[in-house]
Amino acid sequence: MQNEFVETRQSEFDQLKEYIDTVKNSQGILMQTLQKAQELFGYLPLEVQKFISKETNIPLADIYGVVTFYTQFSIEPKGKHTIGVCLGTACYVKGSQAVLDKLSEELKVSVGSTTEDNMFTLEATRCLGCCGLAPVMMVDDDVYGKLDPKKVPEIIEKYKN
């Protein structure tokens, strides 16, 4: 008996199978396939990793090792919006920890977690390449610089609707 996740996401599994069939003879098939799977599913739960293992003949342990090594991959679902607060040196010195703490308080989640309504995932990141705008955070592809923790509630509100 298939589990509920597989049944409800059959379309994505079909698309992933088609993709794997097109790259089967390529070098670096695992990274390509994991990126495609994350794009399709939003994250890489064990069911997806097992499917990739079966379709590519790559041992599940190898797949899991890659998924958990690279930060671009997630084994947990992410929120609709991902918030990344830079904790690189310039941002940290300019107060990014206070911004991160305010976000955690406002969203009622710890760093690395997703809100109960699946709207936001809060992440601490390293340099975002915007040191002149420190402290910086990104919400999806939007960059917010020269942040003051007092601005956090207003910024979050923009994404709630």
Q: What is the pLDDT of residues 75-84, one digit of tens each?
A: 988 899 999 9
Q: Mind listing the pLDDT tens digit for each residue in 112-156? A: 899 999 899 999 998 889 999 999 999 999 999 999 999 999 999
Decide if 141 is inside a domain: yes
Closest residue by Cα to residue 97 from 111, 78, 112, 77:
111
**What are the DSSP calls for 35-64, one per residue?**
HHHHHHHSS--HHHHHHHHHHHT--HHHHH
Decide if 94 is inside a domain: yes
- Same structural domain for residues 96 and 131? yes
pLDDT category of residue 3 using cuts at 50, 70 and 90 = confident
pLDDT category of residue 88 using cuts at 50, 70 and 90 = very high
Decide if 74 is inside a domain: no
- Same structural domain for residues 38 and 86? no
pLDDT category of residue 2 using cuts at 50, 70 and 90 = low
Structure tokens at 21: 């069939």
What's the domain count of the chain? Answer: 2
Q: Which domain holds residue 88?
A: 81-159
Q: Residue 118 in contact with residue 79, Cβ under 8 Å?
A: yes
CATH of the domain at 139: 3.40.30.10
Q: How confident is the prediction for the chain on average, in pLDDT?
A: 92
- Same structural domain for residues 85 and 149? yes
